[in-house]
Amino acid sequence: MSDLHPVKKILILSANPKETTPLRLGEEIREIKEGLKRAKRREQFIIETAEAVRYKDIRRAILDYEPQILHFSGHGIGSPGQEMEHDSGERKLSPVPEYATESGGLVFEDETGHEKLVDAEALAGLFELFADQLECVVLNACYSEVQARAIAQHIPYVIGMNRDIGDGAAIEFAVGFYDALGAGRPVEFAYQLGCNAIQIAGIAEHLTPVLLQPPEAGAPPSSLTTLQPATSAMTSNSASQRIDVFFSYAHEDEELRNELTKHLKLLERQGVISAWYDRDITAGEEWKPKILEKLNQSQLILLLISADFLASDFCWGVELQRAMERHEAKEARVIPIILREVDWKGAPFGKLQALPKNAEPVTNWSNRDQAFANIARGIRRAVEDLTEKKP
């Protein structure tokens, strides 16, 4: 074999502990193997499998097989704050087990075949030890993006799922991904083809897989390159379908607002929303008329609640008042987002359902990414509802 095309080993680990939802793991492994057997460059890949994997088997399998690509297929669980949106057919435990940590985790087996949770920090520490060997890790399990983000600090390519994923979508993604690798395509292309395979199968989960790469040179360690599925002009929303989103916030909360806009960036890239806040006002424009113009044309108004918001005369007396008028007239939907702890009982927006879950202030969450992700999911559902009602 030429040094230009060295043989790569793919290690597939699978686990379906007792008393968890049965998964079609055997079918997934069989389909991956069959696809690579037919591949143009099949001689460049060797597949090894380990089933009913116990937590201690992970390190043993990596040591024994020395893979360059590691694929986990099985159950993943979100944190207790994450919402479970599907009733059946998903690769998750439902409801979230009591032993779940704040970051969730992947579920392996213990010595008795029952669930054993391995959390993100532990997995990241293990894979860091094999960073000189592993090139790609695929976590084909629900809510595995948190684990993927931790592992991606050390491994060049890591794929995780940003929500629950059904068996059908998981299998379609895996087969499309390895079909592309077997044809000699790079990981980025294989990821896109896997997402497209879900879409072609008519399954509405092609946005669930996320490809993560380590920080670029000079970037902060927590900064990751995130690749989302490509969206063609035929599948993306047209400008007339986009929902205009207005941010009403106090400037003291600008840092938190910036974090929220990052979590909503995917909705913007997909053409689902068009977000606006006062920092978008260009030099020389009159700021108050511009704010009122955007406030009056937006279909979704986000109130970023904190003590500074309630103390701001403009936020309280102008933006909030007009927002509630438009909400009552059913011209727009208003969503309060509780950023920081404050007594907002009796406020005009007090009757509205707030985000994140249980109206727990963002700054009270030990993991703020989870809080903002929860908010983003709530906003996505609100946008989908508004889009359905839009003429």
Cis amide prior to 6 (ω within 30 degrees): no
222: Cβ contacts below 8 Å, ≥ 6 apart? 215
Strands 105-109 vs 115-118: parallel, antiparallel or unpaired: antiparallel
How many whole angstroms from its chain centre is CA 71? 18
- Per-residue pLDDT at 249: 96
- Per-residue pLDDT at 88: 41
Question: What's the start-to-end Cα distance of the chain, in Å?
Answer: 60
- Per-residue pLDDT at 28: 94
- Per-residue pLDDT at 384: 87
HEC secondary structure over the chain: CCCCCCCEEEEEEEECCCCCCCCCHHHHHHHHHHHHHCCCCHHHEEEEEECCCEHHHHHHHHHHHCCCEEEEEEEEECCCCCCCCCCCCECCCCCCCCCCCCCCEEEEECCCCCEEEECHHHHHHHHHHCCCCCCEEEEECCCCHHHHHHHCCCCCEEEEECCCCEHHHHHHHHHHHHHHHHCCCCHHHHHHHHHHHHHHCCCCCCCCEEEEECCCCCCCCCCCEEECCCCCCCCCCCHHHCEEEEEECCHHHHHHHHHHHHHCHHHHHCCCEEEECHHHCCCCCCHHHHHHHHHHHCCEEEEEECHHHHHCHHHHHHHHHHHHHHHHCCCCEEEEEECCCCCCCCCCCCCCCCECHHHCCHHHCCCHHHHHHHHHHHHHHHHHHHHHHCC
Task: Name the pTM for this structure.
Answer: 0.58
169: Cβ contacts below 8 Å, ≥ 6 apart? 198, 201, 203, 205, 206, 208
- Per-residue pLDDT at 79: 58
The tokens of 53 are what? 């994997």
279: Cβ contacts below 8 Å, ≥ 6 apart? 254
Phi, psi of 11 (to 5 degrees): -110, 120
Half-sphere exposure of 288 (CA within 13 A, CB side): 4
The tokens of 250 are what? 């106090």
- Per-residue pLDDT at 233: 40
- Per-residue pLDDT at 96: 47
- Per-residue pLDDT at 251: 95
Rg, Å, the chain Cα set: 23
Domains and CATH numbers, the chain: 8-227 (3.40.50), 239-389 (3.40.50.10140)
The tokens of 286 are what? 């009159």
The tokens of 273 are what? 């929303």
- Average pLDDT, consecutive stretches of 10 residues, N- to C-terminus, the chain (391 residues): 71 90 90 91 93 92 96 81 46 49 76 87 92 95 90 94 89 95 93 92 87 68 64 46 91 95 86 87 85 93 97 95 95 96 94 94 94 93 82 56
